[in-house]
């Protein structure tokens, strides 16, 4: 989440944290908590419920599980979670007058801070009621791009390979990535190096850092059904698609290990290929 600074990423390599031992265990705990709260919050998304009610319920869950929001107060953000509906990409703020309607596409982004000061960060997109075919396809493609990126989170690979895979995946479906918003490293702070865009331009960005054991990345595709262009609403937080087309957002916190990547915020996929119209899939 949050806007991408134009950085020379090679100069930031010395700021990347490599977690070991107890630090990894602490991040596993933070990730598990964040994933539990996200799953339990997501089931509350139903027609007739306000986004403020969902925000408040998430805060209650955090308190019960002994953690607190990593978002509340961050750069003066006023919500416990980010809850964004339909054309809203990210950073939506819960409001009592904003009621969820049938077929609304709702993005829930939850970041928590444990008592020991470690951050867990994850997001998912759910549909209120019965999703449209368009929404199902967008949800599937977005989460597919996340899975493809995670599969490349291997030691020795370049960050460029992981990031480029997101755009390569969603282009097959005719979708676009939001370039101004990025994933990030995560640990003691909500946003650490390296930044994790959902695309990569080697001509201007170089190869990026090499992935190595101990790196922990929040990988979060933000995918639009229409234009990649975005706008910010008058609340100075909520990001919307410029053409007001649907947008989807998924995020996992992922640990780079000596072998396969470890998802620290585990959950099952919501949309499987069998639920899609075969003719809507890329050839």
Instruction: Encode pLDDT of 64-90 as tens digits.
Output: 999 999 999 999 999 999 999 999 999
The structure tokens listed for 217 are 């990345």
**pLDDT for 237 beyond 90:** yes
Contact of 149 with 219, CB cutoff 8 Å: yes
Mean pLDDT, rounded, for 136-161: 97
Q: Which CATH architecture has domain 9-274?
A: Alpha-Beta Complex (3.90)
Identify the band that residue 1 occupies on the pLDDT scale cut at 50, 70 and 90: very low
- The pLDDT value recorded for residue 256 is 98
- The pLDDT value recorded for residue 14 is 52
- The pLDDT value recorded for residue 185 is 98
- The pLDDT value recorded for residue 265 is 98
- The pLDDT value recorded for residue 275 is 83
Contact of 80 with 71, CB cutoff 8 Å: yes
Nearest to 166 by CA among 118, 200, 189, 137: 200
Mean pLDDT, rounded, for 161-178: 98
The structure tokens listed for 66 are 């002994």
Q: What is the pTM of this model?
A: 0.93
Task: Tell me the residue length of the chain.
Answer: 283
**pLDDT for 225 beyond 80:** yes
Angstrom distance (rounded) from CA 117 to CA 136: 37
Residue 185, number of CB atoms within 10 A of its CB: 22
Contact of 273 with 281, CB cutoff 8 Å: yes
Complete edge-to-edge strand list for the sheet that includes strand 252-255? 192-196, 183-185, 216-219, 252-255, 262-263
Mean pLDDT, rounded, for 184-191: 97
The structure tokens listed for 9 are 């990423």
Identify the band that residue 283 occupies on the pLDDT scale cut at 50, 70 and 90: low
Grouping H, G, I as helix, E, B as strand and the rest as coil, residue 109 is strand
- The pLDDT value recorded for residue 280 is 79
Tens-place pLDDT, residues 6-32? 344 434 445 899 999 999 999 999 999
Tens-place pLDDT, residues 106-138? 999 999 999 999 999 999 999 999 999 999 999
- The pLDDT value recorded for residue 261 is 98
Residue 180, number of CB atoms within 10 A of its CB: 16
% of residues, the chain, pLDDT over 90: 88
Identify the band that residue 250 occupies on the pLDDT scale cut at 50, 70 and 90: very high
Least confident of 2-6, 44-48, 109-113: 2-6
Orientation angle between helical segments 51-64 and 22-42, nearest 10 degrees: 140
């Amino acid at each position: 989440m949050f806007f991408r600074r134009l950085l020379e990423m090679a100069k930031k390599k010395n700021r990347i944290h490599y977690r070991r031992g107890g630090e990894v265990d602490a991040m596993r705990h933070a990730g598990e908590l964040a994933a539990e709260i996200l799953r339990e919050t997501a089931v509350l998304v139903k027609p007739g419920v306000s986004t403020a009610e969902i925000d408040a319920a998430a805060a209650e869950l955090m308190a019960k599980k002994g953690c607190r929001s990593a978002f509340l107060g961050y750069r003066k953000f006023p919500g416990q979670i980010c809850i964004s509906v339909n054309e809203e990409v990210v950073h939506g703020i819960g409001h009592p007058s904003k009621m969820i309607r049938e077929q609304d596409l709702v993005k829930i982004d939850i970041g928590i801070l444990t008592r020991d000061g470690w951050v867990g960060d994850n997001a998912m997109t759910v549909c209120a009621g019965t999703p449209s075919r368009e929404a199902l396809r967008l949800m599937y493609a977005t989460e597919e791009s996340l899975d493809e990126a995670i599969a490349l989170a291997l030691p020795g690979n370049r960050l460029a390979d992981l990031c480029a895979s997101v755009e390569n995946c969603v282009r097959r479906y005719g979708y676009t990535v939001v370039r101004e918003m990025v994933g990030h490293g995560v640990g003691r702070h909500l946003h650490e190096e390296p930044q994790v865009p959902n695309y990569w331009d080697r001509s201007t960005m170089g190869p990026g850092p090499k992935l190595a054991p101990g790196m922990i990345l929040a990988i979060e595709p933000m995918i639009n059904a229409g234009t990649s262009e975005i706008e910010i609403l008058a609340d100075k937080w909520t990001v919307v698609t410029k053409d007001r087309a649907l947008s989807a957002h998924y995020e996992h916190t992922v640990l780079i290990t000596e072998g396969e990547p470890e998802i620290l915020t585990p959950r099952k996929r919501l949309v499987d290929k069998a639920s899609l119209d075969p003719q809507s899939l890329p050839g």
